[in-house]
Structure formats: C-alpha cells, structure tokens
C-alpha cells in the first residue's frame, strides 16, 4: 500500500518509517514548507526505502491540505490511503493553533480522501490519529464509542474531541474512516530512539524535582503507553483492514495496551528494582482522588505563574495519575486478533534507561511536551 501521510516528521511518523518496509508499505509524505522561526518536529532522512517519489508540500489547516490541482491528480493515481498524523502537541500552545491543526486538519484530510476516491474510482480510506486523552478526566472503563460531553477537558483534549465529532458527522461510504485513538508513545522498542523526551519521560528525568519527592495518583492508576514502532505496526495493519471495510460510519478504535497497561506504581517499582542508583530517593506515590488530579491539571495554571514547561507537566499528571482502562475490543475485531503488547520491563527500560543522544531531542526541557 502507498500512503499519503501528514505528520511524517513526528514521533509516530518516525515509527511508521521504521516499520513500513516490513509491512510492504511505502509513503508519500506531506511536508510543511519550512518557515523562519518555526521549529519542526523532526526531519526525514532520504534516501529512505519507505519514501517514494517527491514529498508533497502542504498544510493540513487549509482546504485540500494546500495541495494544487496537479498534486491532487498525481495522488489520485498514486495513493491508496490518506493517513493524518499531523498534530500540535504542545498543550500549552495557542488554542487557535491547536484547534486549526486538529479540527480543520481532520476535516480537510477526510474531504481530500473523498476527492481522491472520486478521481481515482478506487475507495481511498482515511485514518485519523486521535487521542485516547480526548476522554478528558473520565475514569474506569472507557469504550471505543463517541465520547460524551464533559467540562474537564484541556484545550488539546477538546480539540481532539471536536475533530472526532466533525469526522463522525462527515463519514460516508465512499471513503472508509477510522479514528484511531492513540495512547502515549515512547521511543522505539529496540533502539530506544525517541524524537523527544515527552512528559512520560518526566517520571524518569524529573523524579527528584517533584515537590516532596512524591507523585499524586489514584491508587490503581495506569500508564497506557506503546513504543512508537509497535504503535506504527498496528496502525499499518489497521489501515490495510480498513481498506476492505464497507461501513458508512466512522470506526473508532483505541490503540494502546488497554487492560494490559501497567500501573504507575508497578512501573516505578520495576525501574527502581532495575537501577536504584537512578533515584536519589525511592519513588513514592501518594493517593489522590480523580477529582483532585483532574481539577489541578486543568486549572492550576490560572492561579500559579507556571512556565509552559511546568504547565505541560501538570497536564501530564492526568495521563499517569488516573485509574482507567481504554477498551480494545473494536481494535481486536478490526485486526482479527494480535493486539499490541509491551511488557513492564520494556516500558520501564525505555523510560528510565539513559537518554540516547543524538535522537533524543528535548523540546523546551524534558517536561515540555507530552505526546498527546
């Protein structure tokens, strides 16, 4: 399969490039035109066998992703699916950027897939990288269903939710549509390479800086995270299956560890046992209620003079401090089994192993960005 991919230079895009060859897929990346002063997420490193032809230039925030007539005609001949991984993952960033990238980007991408379907006479499926965290402060079992209204979402979570709503309203049978809600991504399972050390790595990098040396979390809080290559392999399987689906409705699936996600306490214990020297003092998790964690992570910046780094870190607290399980039964049905896996030891090793330079690029400090 040949995929038109927006967001190829990001963390998940890197995972795709690492795994496309073995999956028999190639990529036509949609890259933004570089702008002075704008930091890009990452870089493609041609010649990469997963890349075919010339990348196309565009921007997901604009109609047709900014592609001209000739580019659209070329893609109608060449692309078999449209994959939207483009994201604004700095949660403390401008709300307008976050909304435009996620909500408009999601919609323009689906309309583009439809146009390619009409031009090519083939059904071109569309995969949108959503986020399990659009669930806001929900705890307990979280289903692969449209999320209900809640008042406790962050700006980023609300944007991911609106993107989903827009897509479910647009879905039609000409282009199959999958909203793949991702859990947190960490580096490559074999090499540890990561584009940045996001907020999950905060547990490792800034443990000794936590006030009082304690982490507030619900007693059975879980960390749902996948290495980027494991997530990418599953995504590629999902997009293949999607191409053969008849459905007229948007399909929503959770891409994560679900019921097998480790507890935050278990993860810290595993890391401490493997390398006690890494910690100045033994990790301590103090019990907090869902309400305390959700409220604090949503509102503290209104009262405290937080730097963007600290603001992001505080939002990240809700991604390690809540006790919830993202159901995977629809993902299992789509894939026909073979759900993604990542053991406690692997995750602890990826997060708490030594930072691996030069690929580990800290963005504004190790806590600055969580992968959303």
Ligand X SMILES: NC(=O)c1ccc[n+]([C@@H]2O[C@H](COP(=O)([O-])OP(=O)(O)OC[C@H]3O[C@@H](n4cnc5c(N)ncnc54)[C@H](OP(=O)(O)O)[C@@H]3O)[C@@H](O)[C@H]2O)c1
Query: By the criterion CB under 6 A, which residues form the site for ligand X?
Result: 6-13, 32, 40-42, 59-61, 85-89, 101, 129, 131, 182, 184-185, 195, 371-372
Looking at the Cβ atoms of 123 and 340, the one nearer to ligand X is 340
Q: Compute the least distance from the CB of residue 17 to ligand X, in Å.
A: 11
Task: Tokens 């060859």: give the residue.
Answer: 21
Looking at the Cβ atoms of 84 and 123, the one nearer to ligand X is 84
Cβ–Cβ < 8 Å for 86, 7 = yes
Looking at the Cβ atoms of 7 and 125, the one nearer to ligand X is 7
Cβ–Cβ < 8 Å for 361, 196 = yes
- Provide the 8-state DSSP code for 76: H
Looking at the Cβ atoms of 129 and 267, the one nearer to ligand X is 129
Work out the number of other CB atoms within 10 angstroms of the CB of residue 121. Answer: 7
Q: Compute the least distance from the CB of residue 342 to ligand X, in Å.
A: 13
Q: Compute the least distance from the CB of residue 149 to ligand X, in Å.
A: 21
Q: Compute the least distance from the CB of residue 88 to ligand X, in Å.
A: 6
Helices 69-78 & 105-120 angle (0-180, nearest 10): 70
Positive or negative torsion for Cα 299, 302, 303, 306: positive
Looking at the Cβ atoms of 12 and 253, the one nearer to ligand X is 12
Q: Residue 160 corresponds to which tokens in the numbers above?
A: 């991911």
Using CB positions, name the residue nearest to ligand X.
Answer: 10
Q: Compute the least distance from the CB of residue 338 to ligand X, in Å.
A: 21
Looking at the Cβ atoms of 7 and 176, the one nearer to ligand X is 7
Looking at the Cβ atoms of 111 and 269, the one nearer to ligand X is 111
Pairwise CA distance, residues 105 & 128, whole Å: 10
Q: Compute the least distance from the CB of residue 372 to ligand X, in Å.
A: 4
Q: Residue 72 corresponds to which tokens in the numbers above?
A: 């659209």
Q: Residue 60 corresponds to which tokens in the numbers above?
A: 């997901």
CA angle 56, 163, 176 (to 5 degrees): 70
Pairwise CA distance, residues 232 & 237, whole Å: 9
Q: Compute the least distance from the CB of residue 183 to ligand X, in Å.
A: 6
Looking at the Cβ atoms of 19 and 101, the one nearer to ligand X is 101
Q: Compute the least distance from the CB of residue 189 to ligand X, in Å.
A: 15
Looking at the Cβ atoms of 57 and 73, the one nearer to ligand X is 57
Phi, psi of 214, rounded to the nearest 5 degrees? -125, 150
Cβ–Cβ < 8 Å for 342, 259 = no
Pairing of strands 324-326, 126-131: unpaired
Q: Compute the least distance from the CB of residue 212 to ligand X, in Å.
A: 28
User: Residue 201 to residues 12, 80, 349: CA-CA distances in angstroms?
Assistant: 16, 36, 11
Which residues are within 8 A (CB) of 74 and not within 5 positions of it... i.e. 6 or more apart?
A: 56
Pairwise CA distance, residues 144 & 333, whole Å: 12
């Amino acid at each position: 399969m040949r995929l038109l991919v927006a967001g190829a230079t990001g963390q998940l895009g890197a995972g795709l490039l690492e795994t496309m060859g073995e999956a028999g897929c190639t990529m036509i990346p949609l890259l933004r035109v570089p702008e002075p002063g704008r930091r890009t997420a990452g870089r493609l490193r041609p010649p990469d066998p997963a890349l075919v032809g010339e990348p196309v230039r565009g921007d997901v925030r604009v109609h047709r992703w900014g592609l001209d007539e000739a580019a659209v005609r070329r893609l109608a001949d060449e692309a078999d699916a449209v994959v939207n991984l483009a994201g604004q993952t700095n949660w403390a960033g401008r709300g307008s950027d976050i909304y435009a990238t996620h909500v408009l980007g999601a919609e323009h991408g689906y309309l583009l897939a439809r146009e390619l379907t009409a031009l090519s006479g083939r059904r071109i499926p569309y995969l949108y990288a959503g986020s399990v965290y659009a669930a806001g402060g929900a705890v307990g079992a979280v289903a692969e269903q449209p999320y209900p209204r809640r008042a406790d979402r962050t700006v980023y979570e609300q944007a991911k939710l609106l993107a989903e709503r827009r897509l479910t309203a647009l879905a039609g049978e000409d282009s199959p549509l999958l909203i793949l809600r991702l859990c947190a991504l960490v580096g490559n399972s074999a090499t540890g390479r990561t584009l940045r050390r996001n907020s999950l790595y905060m547990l490792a990098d800034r443990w000794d800086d936590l006030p009082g040396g304690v982490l507030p979390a619900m007693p059975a809080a879980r960390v749902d995270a996948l290495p980027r290559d494991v997530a990418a392999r599953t995504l590629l399987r999902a997009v293949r299956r999607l191409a053969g689906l008849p459905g007229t409705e948007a399909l929503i699936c959770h891409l994560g560890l679900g019921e097998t996600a480790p507890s935050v306490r278990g993860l810290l214990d595993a890391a401490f046992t493997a390398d006690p020297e890494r910690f100045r003092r033994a990790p301590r998790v103090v019990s907090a209620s869902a309400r305390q964690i959700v409220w604090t992570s949503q509102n503290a910046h209104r009262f405290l003079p937080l730097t963007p780094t600290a603001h992001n870190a505080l939002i990240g607290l809700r991604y390690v401090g809540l006790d919830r399980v993202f159901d995977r039964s629809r993902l299992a049905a789509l894939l026909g089994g073979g759900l993604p896996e990542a053991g406690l030891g692997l995750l602890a090793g990826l997060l708490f192993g030594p930072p691996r330079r030069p690929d580990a690029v800290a963005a504004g400090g190790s806590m600055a960005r969580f992968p959303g």
